[in-house]
Amino acid sequence: PGNRDTSDAPLWLCVAAAEMAEASRQADFLDTFQAADGRLLRNILLSIGRSYAGGTSNGIRMDPESALVFSPAHFTWMDTQHPVGTPREGFPIEIQALWHRALLLLSRIEPSGPWTGLAQRARASFRSLFESPEKPWAADCILAPPGCPARRGTPDWSLRPNQLFAVTLGLADEPRLARKIVAACEELVVPGAMRSLADRPATTPLAIFHQGRMLGDPNHPYRGRYEGDEDASRKPAYHNGTAWTWLLPVYAEALLAAYGAEAKDAVFSLLGSAATLFEQGCAGHLPEILDGDYPHTMRGCWAQAWSASELARVLAFAEKFV
């Protein structure tokens, strides 16, 4: 349905359903789980795939040529508005990783459908559009207006953590590329969290306007402190340098995907850097965000559920990883 302004949440449902089906070890899991309206999970997932492929009423649509998914402005987790701090209109990298993972699931649910071919085309498009031998990391987004094919868009080479999902979700599974991404994202790591943007000049200027006035320098949008007026200062910083605790486990998971069991010691050490955060603010919990700049002051919500759940998930995954 097109009544939710998010391009990632339905695809995360596909990922969660695939993992739940595998964990349950029930061959008929997708045919026994029902939503409140009586629909089987299998049919819900197929509905999501068909809606993305054909286009939703709020503008999410698969580009037929590339099989990549177009996402309207502020439809990803980087969704600040008024002012729009990170529009990312076009083809964001984590949306493509989620879409590819969903296509693989749909190809198993409906082998006679178009999903296998779409997954292969999306994979090839990702390699040709998001990677460059001259760039040390993957593009964060192929910027494009509605209706523009992905191949005609403009790659945004800003160093952001979203490319890690291409590794953890299996789209960037070639070892050289996976390690390239992980190595580049090390620059974003702070104790217990990851910056949402590197402190570097912008490859594609990011102009942020509020009440008719440009905020900051569009050629260097990094903001290391989440403080001050909400609209003029905090919102522009929210996804442009602010460090997020839920992303550190994603980086750890990407390390395991790229380097295998040899990375386990590094992963546990990395995740352990979040330990001191449990003793500050709301004791026993993880905060939502930290300042990107030292001393990385705790900000935002001091007891953030998805920060704690991601840490627990990846810790459990790492302990069983062989």
Residue ranges in 3-40 assigned as alpha helix (H): 9-24, 29-32
Q: How far apart are alpha carbons 264 and 253 in whole angstroms? A: 10
Residues 223 and 120 in one domain: no
Q: What is the arithmetic mean of pLDDT over 74-83?
A: 92
Kindly indicate the confidence band of residue 73, based on its pLDDT and cuts at 50, 70 and 90.
Answer: very high
Domain membership of residue 124 (yes or no) is: yes
Domain membership of residue 322 (yes or no) is: yes
Is a pLDDT exceeding 70 seen at residue 3? no
Contact in structure between 255 and 270 (CB atoms under 8 Å): yes
Domain membership of residue 165 (yes or no) is: no
Residues 25 and 63 in one domain: yes
Q: Which of 157, 173, 207 is the last residue of a domain?
A: 157
Residues 40 and 138 in one domain: yes
Closest Cα to residue 255, out of 157, 321, 160? 321
The residues near 148 (Cβ < 8 Å, ≥ 6 apart) are 90
Q: Which two tokens stand for residue 312?
A: 């627990």
Residues 228 and 312 in one domain: yes
DSSP state, residue 148: -
Is a pLDDT exceeding 90 seen at residue 26? no
Kindly indicate the confidence band of residue 25, based on its pLDDT and cuts at 50, 70 and 90.
Answer: confident
pLDDT value, residue 127: 97
Domain membership of residue 175 (yes or no) is: no
Q: Which domain holds residue 59?
A: 1-157
Query: What's the mean per-residue pLDDT of the chain?
Result: 95
Residues 37 and 93 in one domain: yes
What are phi and psi for residue 195, nearest 5 degrees? -65, 145
Q: How far apart are alpha carbons 72 and 86 in whole angstroms? A: 11
Residues 40-64: pLDDT tens digits?
A: 999 999 999 999 999 999 999 999 9
**For residues 217-226, b (16+ Cβ closer than 10 Å) or e, as one string?**
eeeebbbbeb
Q: What is the arithmetic mean of pLDDT over 170-187?
A: 97
Residues 146 and 186 in one domain: no
DSSP state, residue 212: T
Residues 116 and 232 in one domain: no
Q: What angle do CA 293, 199, 221 make, to 5 degrees?
A: 105
Domain membership of residue 164 (yes or no) is: no
Kindly indicate the confidence band of residue 34, based on its pLDDT and cuts at 50, 70 and 90.
Answer: confident
- Answer whether the bond into residue 295 is a cis peptide, omega within 30°: yes
Domain membership of residue 169 (yes or no) is: no
3-state class (DSSP) for residue 121: helix
Residues 70 and 126 in one domain: yes
Residues 198 and 116 in one domain: no
pTM of the predicted model as reported, rounded to 2 decimal places: 0.96
Q: What is the arithmetic mean of pLDDT over 266-273?
A: 96
Kindly indicate the confidence band of residue 111, based on its pLDDT and cuts at 50, 70 and 90.
Answer: very high
Residue with tokens 């790492």: 318
pLDDT value, residue 69: 99
Q: What is the arithmetic mean of pLDDT over 19-32?
A: 89
Is a pLDDT exceeding 50 seen at residue 1? no
- Answer whether the bond into residue 83 is a cis peptide, omega within 30°: yes
pLDDT value, residue 88: 96
Contact in structure between 90 and 141 (CB atoms under 8 Å): yes
Q: What is the arithmetic mean of pLDDT over 242-252?
A: 98
Q: How far apart are alpha carbons 148 and 66 in whole angstroms? A: 11
For residue 126, CA distances in Å to 123, 181, 192, 201, 225 come to 5, 14, 30, 25, 33
Residues 112 and 235 in one domain: no
Closest Cα to residue 73, out of 63, 65, 83, 219? 83
pLDDT value, residue 75: 96
Number of domains, the chain: 2
Residues 143-175: pLDDT tens digits?
A: 999 999 999 999 999 999 999 999 999 999 999
3-state class (DSSP) for residue 24: helix
Q: How far apart are alpha carbons 232 and 59 in whole angstroms? A: 28
Q: Which of 97, 123, 157 is the last residue of a domain?
A: 157
Is a pLDDT exceeding 70 seen at residue 257? yes
pLDDT value, residue 144: 98
Residues 86-103: pLDDT tens digits?
A: 999 999 999 999 999 999
Cβ neighbours around 77 below 10 Å, total: 21
CA dihedral 72, 78, 83, 85 (to 10 degrees): -100
Q: Which of 125, 157, 189 is the last residue of a domain?
A: 157
User: Percentage of the chain surpassing pLDDT 70?
Assistant: 99
Kindly indicate the confidence band of residue 141, based on its pLDDT and cuts at 50, 70 and 90.
Answer: very high
Residues 190 and 303 in one domain: yes
Contact in structure between 181 and 172 (CB atoms under 8 Å): yes
3-state class (DSSP) for residue 154: strand
User: Percentage of the chain surpassing pLDDT 90?
Assistant: 88
Domain membership of residue 251 (yes or no) is: yes
Residues 64 and 17 in one domain: yes
What are phi and psi for residue 206, nearest 5 degrees? -120, 95
Domain membership of residue 311 (yes or no) is: yes
